[in-house]
Amino acid sequence: MEEGIVHYCVANMPGAYARTATQALTNATYRYIELVADYGVEAACAKEPSLYSGINISNGEIVHPAILEAYGMMGIV
């Protein structure tokens, strides 16, 4: 404890088990990658609307609200 704050460290578990972490990430994301590869971004998003939340930039413009807000650009684009 320092200055009334408890400090602790959490190990980088994916780094400790890189192969297993990569397999888990691939299992969780592959179907989305396949959708985009098969249909393109716009059609894949139409088929799986949850993909929209992962798009940060489209046609050279920032489209993700959190990024726009972080850079003080809300209402500009």
- CA dist 1 and 38 (Å) reads 53
Q: What pTM value is reported for the model?
A: 0.64
What pLDDT, on the 0 to 100 scale, is given for residue 10? 79
Q: Which residues, in sequence order, are CB contacts of 74 under 8 Å at separation 6+? A: 65, 68
Which residue stretches of the chain have pLDDT < 70? 1, 75-77
